Amino acid sequence: MENVCRISRAQNGFTVSMRDPAIEEANRKRDLSGKNATPAPWRDPHVEYVFEDVESVLKFLKKTLPTAMTLDEYSSTFDKAMAESDDD
């Protein structure tokens, strides 16, 4: 999973681009097994929002970054292992 948030200037304000973790999770849970499987369609997790001003961008980021920029499993496992080795 890419933990990238990109802010760009647009003609009418700013755009914020990021990956939606809820869409990524739904894509991972699709059932592709069995000959009668009718999986939900894959959706592009890359989303983009447009804002008129900097204040709106900052408000959105404060609200969404804690959940949109989650730690991946490898990173959190590595951090936990490092913390345990420091205790030794």
Residue 1 lies in a domain: no
Q: What is the pLDDT of residues 23-78, one digit of tens each?
A: 888 888 877 776 666 677 889 999 999 999 999 999 999 998 887 776 655 455 55
Residue 31 lies in a domain: yes
**Residue that has been written with the tokens 């499987």 in this structure:** 37
DSSP character for 41?
P
Residue 38 lies in a domain: yes
For residue 11, what are the domain limits?
Answer: 6-87
Residues 6+ apart with CB under 8 A from 3: 19, 69, 70, 72
Cα 11 to chain centroid distance, Å, stands at 25
Spatial separation of the C-alpha atoms in residues 65 and 52, rounded to whole Å: 19
Determine if the pTM surpasses 0.75.
no
